[in-house]
């Protein structure tokens, strides 16, 4: 049974524990993220961005507007993230 089907049967009787997430397959984790995103994006007014996040976004927008923004391809991003987690 897919995770989406399980979600429809019951809205997770209890909060998901970190260990349960670790046991999920990659496909199940993606499905959970999709469910969360769908739920959160349905009512964006209920989600508030923390002030530190707004500051970072404002800084990045300023860089882009000044012509100093840094843009990466997906391949470049993956390489950068792999180096960080090596």
Helix (H), strand (E) at residue 77 = helix 74-84
Domain boundaries, the chain: 3-46, 51-84
Cβ-count burial 1-27 (b if 16+ within 10 Å, e if not): eebeeeeeeeeeeeeeeeeeeeeeeee
Q: In whole angstroms, what is the distance from residue 15 CA to residue 42 CA?
A: 21
Tell me, what's the pLDDT at 6? 62
- Asked if the model's pLDDT at residue 61 lies above 80, the reply is yes
The set of long-range contacts for 25-29, using a CB threshold of 8 Å and a minimum separation of 24, is 28/3
pLDDT of residue 1: 60
pLDDT reported for residue 54: 92
Q: Is residue 53's pLDDT more than 60?
A: yes
Q: pLDDT digits over 35-46, tens only?
A: 999 999 999 888
Q: If you count them, how many residues does the chain have?
A: 86
């Amino acid at each position: 049974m897919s995770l989406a089907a399980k979600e429809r049967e019951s809205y997770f009787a209890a909060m998901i524990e970190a260990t349960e997430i670790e046991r999920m397959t990659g496909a199940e984790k993606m499905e959970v993220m999709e469910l969360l995103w769908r739920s959160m994006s349905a009512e964006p007014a209920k989600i508030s961005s923390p002030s530190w996040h707004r500051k970072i976004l404002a800084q990045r927008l300023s860089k882009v507007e000044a012509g100093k923004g840094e843009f990466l391809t997906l391949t470049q991003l993956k390489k950068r993230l792999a180096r960080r987690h090596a």
